[in-house]
Amino acid sequence: MRQGCHRLEAPSSSGRDPSHLTSAWRRPYTLQCRFKSSSRSITVNVQPYHQEDITITVAPAERRGSSSPQDAKMLVPPDMLAAQSRMVYQLNKYYTEKVQARKLQISKTIQEVCRVVQDVLKEVEVQEPRFISSLTDYNGRFDGLEVISPVEFEVLSDGRKRSMSLWVEFITASGYLSARKMRSRFQTLVAQACDKCSYRDSVKMIADTTEVKLRIRERYIVQITPAFKCAGLWPRSAAHWPLPQIPWPHPNHVVEVKTEGFDLLSKECIALQGKQSAMEGDAWVLSFLEAENRLLHGGCRRRCLSILKTLRDRHLDLPGNPVTGYHMKTLLLYECEKHPRESEWDEACIADRINGIFLQLISCLQCKRCPHYFLPNLDLFKGKSPSALENASKQVWRLTREMLTNSRCFEKL
Cα distance between residue 368 and residue 355, in whole Å: 20
Spatial distance between the Cα atoms of 128 and 186, rounded to a whole number of angstroms: 9
What DSSP element (H or E) covers 229? Answer: strand 220-230
pLDDT at residue number 380:
96
Helices (H), 39-160: 69-74, 80-94, 100-127
d(CA 49, CA 47): 6
Cα separation, 306 vs 291, in Å, equals 18
Q: Show Cβ contacts of residue 97 under 8 Å, excluding neighbours closer than 6 positions.
A: none
The type of residue at 99 is V
> Mean pLDDT, 10 residues at a time, over the chain (413 residues)?
42 39 48 39 40 39 41 50 80 95 96 94 89 78 89 84 70 87 93 94 92 95 92 94 94 94 88 58 90 94 97 96 97 97 94 96 96 96 95 96 89 88
Instruction: Find, among 48, 72, 70, 68, the residue nearest to 60 by Cα.
Output: 72
Give residue 164's pLDDT: 59
Burial 360-371 (b: 16+ CB within 10 A, else e): bbbbbbbbbbbb
Q: Are 76 and 60 in contact (CB under 8 A)?
A: yes
Give the single-character DSSP code of 371: B
Whole-structure pTM over 0.85, yes or no? no
Domains of the chain, earliest start first:
106-295 (3.30.460.90)
Q: Which residues pair with 379 in a beta bridge?
A: 371
At position 69, the amino acid (one-letter code) is P
The strand pair at 152-158 and 220-230 is best described as parallel
Of 168, 157, 76, whose CA–CA distance to 124 is shortest? 157
Query: What pLDDT is recorded for position 26?
Result: 56
* C-beta of residue 257 within 8 angstroms of C-beta of residue 276: no
> For the packed helices 325-338 and 350-367, what is the interaxial angle rounded to 10 degrees?
120
Kindly calculate the radius of gyration of the chain based on its CA atoms and give it in whole angstroms.
24
Cα maximum dimension of the chain: 85
**What end-to-end distance do the CA atoms of the chain give, in Å?**
26
